[in-house]
Structure 1
Amino acid sequence: MVTTNELLQKRCRHLEDGLTEADIGAYLKAVEGWKLTDGKIAKTFSFGNYYETLAFVNAIAYMIHAEDHHPELLVTYNRCIVKFDTHSVNGGRGGISENDFICAAKVDAIRQQAAA
């Protein structure tokens, strides 16, 4: 079983094979609060105001760029919904890959560090 610490040590790479449903279930156990929704893993992050929300988006921007794995972000006044999927897997039809979980773990780590 994969752990959060293992995911934090990894880097995203080009993948052509998506994860199976069983694999997705195991990976979800390593990233607390993330859910499989409409073919993407997603999590809602709540904040006190718009400034804090945008600060979070800016904080994750560097990691997202460095990993070259870009989420869908829905930004509102006091929350940000982050959704990951991998477009290159399953013959270009998309799906969930390990890259999604690597970035989810790193987004969580950034949020925990900011909250400390």
Structure 2
Amino acid sequence: MTKTADLLTKKCRHQETALDDAQIQVHLAALPDWHVAQGLLERQFSFRNYYETLAFVNAAAYIAHAEDHHPELTVGYNRCMVRFNTHSVNGGRGGLSENDFICAAKVGALFAQAHS
């Protein structure tokens, strides 16, 4: 069983094979606020104002840069949708890899720390 703490200690590495459905479900259990939609691991984060939203976006971008694994970010006044997938797996067809879950755990921890 994968735990959030396990994901937080890992670093992203090159992935060639996507996770299968069973592996995705195991990883999702460690990230209860995240879900898979149309092949993307996603979560919407809510904030009080635009300043908080942009601060989160910048911090999430720092995490993405450090891990060399970049999400799709959709930013509004008081919300940000974060979506991960790994374009390089499955021969370039894409899918979910452990990297997506590592980054999701780190972005989720960032949000939790700022809102505790």
Q: TM-score normalised by the shorter chain: which range applies?
A: over 0.9
Q: 1:54-83: CA deviations, max 9, x gaps? A: 010011111110100000000000100000
Instruction: Structure 2: state its 5+ residue gaps.
Output: none
Please name the residue that 1:31 is paired with: 31
Q: 1:25-64: CA deviations, max 9, x gaps? A: 1100101210100110000000011111001001111111
Please name the residue that 2:101 is paired with: 101
Instruction: Structure 1: state its 5+ residue gaps.
Output: none
Q: Secondary structure at the match of 2:74?
A: strand
Q: 1:68-116: CA deviations, max 9, x gaps? A: 0000000000100000000010111000000000000000111111113
Q: Give matches, 1:52-91, under 5 Å.
A: 52-91=52-91
Paired residues, number: 116
Distance 2:59 2:113 in 1: 10
Q: Look up the equivalent residue of 1:113 and give its one-letter code.
A: Q
Distance 1:115 1:92 in 2: 37
Runs of 4+ in 1 over 4 A off after TM superposition: none
Distance 2:59 2:103 in 1: 13
Q: Look up the equivalent residue of 1:76 and give its one-letter code.
A: G
Q: Secondary structure at the match of 2:42?
A: strand
Distance 1:47 1:36 in 2: 22
Q: Secondary structure at the match of 1:5?
A: helix
Please name the residue that 1:2 is paired with: 2
Q: Percent identical across equivalent pairs?
A: 62
Distance 2:75 2:102 in 1: 21
Q: Secondary structure at the match of 1:31?
A: coil
RMSD, matched Cα: 0.6
